[in-house]
Amino acid sequence: MRIVSILLIALLGASACRVESVSWPTTGWKTSTAAEQGVDQAELQKLDNEFARGDYGYVDGFLLISHGYVVHEKSYEHDYIGLFSSAPNKTPGPYNYYDFNWHPFYQEGKLHTMQSISKSVTSALIGVAIQRGEIPGVETNALSYFDGYKILDDPRRHRWTLRHLLTMNTGIQWEEVALPYTDPANSCALMEASKDWTQFVLDQPMAADPGSVFVYNSGATQLLSHILKKATGMHADAYAAEYLFKPLGISNFYWKRTPTGHADTEGGLYLEPRDLGKIGYLYLHGGVWEGKRILPEGWVETSTTVQTSTGSDARGLDYGYQWWVERKPGGPAYAALGYGGQRLVVIPELDLVAVFTGWNIYSTAPLDTRFALERLRRMTKKQ
């Protein structure tokens, strides 16, 4: 019995040491060299040179965090103003992707557009609300939060749960990925041009049973904005500031609002790359920050494992709770992805977080996620 007690104490002590050894970047990231954190400096420099030459278009930032230390941080200058002035397909209104006051930096400052990475942060906010007891869970009926809205009479819609919204299995008829966002026929563009985004989404007809098919749908995420306000009494941006960003030490951000005042949870968040890295680090540590649980037990694991197949997605990615999950057995990576090349990549097996920003909306495709994963693993000798 005494031997068992000694072993138990030793194990608890080792566990405590592991917890204490975590470097929390609440007040700022510590820095280290690539070599000290197990990253191949030559491979890292090679990728940096490729970005600097413009080999992959308009990548404007690359941040690498290994074992809790920033080991590489570089920005790359591009003449976005000149590019915007010659853009052939400018779009009108406040969501003009060719307006340099909004894209890719907010008012030419340090805050970078996150685009659909906003969706992954919104998913985290749903988790926070569940942890705080303000939302019962993901099986909660979604339409219970929409009193006062006109709801099309289709019994399939009344079966929506929060899980269906999180996994984009709503069954709504929605056309987004096959059309450019500058195309006025794009469902997301139509939503953003409407006076009430929530009602626009609710007005779309059903095309399938909830849970039966994955269809990428920014409108589903926008419904979560209304649900957060209804459940917590706070708009998503204010709720994030108090219960997600504040514990992580994130104070500088901007979040667009829709015409009816809701936060644009499908694409309106602006963050600095180092602060986006904190979101990845929170997930890398299971939703715990400095010993305090921010996200429910198991939330990160569920959010970043495959909840629905994307079918023939050429990137080799499936979908969790508003996170993209690598289609790879054994230690897969996961990512938050945004239009134009915003990438937050987390590789748990390597204790690695990477942030890429850019604005590839011209002739060059955004940074390929499989390419990024391959190069990151090559840097750490893990294929």
CATH code: domain of residue 226: 3.40.710.10
Residue 221 covered by a domain:
yes
Residue 351 covered by a domain:
no
64-89 pLDDT tens trace: 999 999 999 999 999 998 888 877 66
178-192 pLDDT tens trace: 888 878 889 999 999
Q: Which long-range contacts (CB under 8 A, 24 or more apart) does 240-244 make?
A: 240/121, 240/125, 243/125, 243/128, 243/132, 243/294, 244/121, 244/124, 244/125, 244/128, 244/294
Predicted pLDDT of residue 183:
84
pTM of the predicted model over 0.85:
yes
243-258 pLDDT tens trace: 999 999 999 999 999 9
- Which portions of the chain are predicted below pLDDT 50? 1-20
- Two tokens at 132? 């705080």
Residue 53 covered by a domain:
no
Predicted pLDDT of residue 88:
65
Residue 71 covered by a domain:
no
Residue 177 covered by a domain:
yes
Which residue segment(s) compose the domain that 293 sits in?
A: 110-339
Residue 303 covered by a domain:
yes
Residue 371 covered by a domain:
no
Predicted pLDDT of residue 382:
61
Residue 98 covered by a domain:
no
Q: How many domains does the chain have?
A: 1
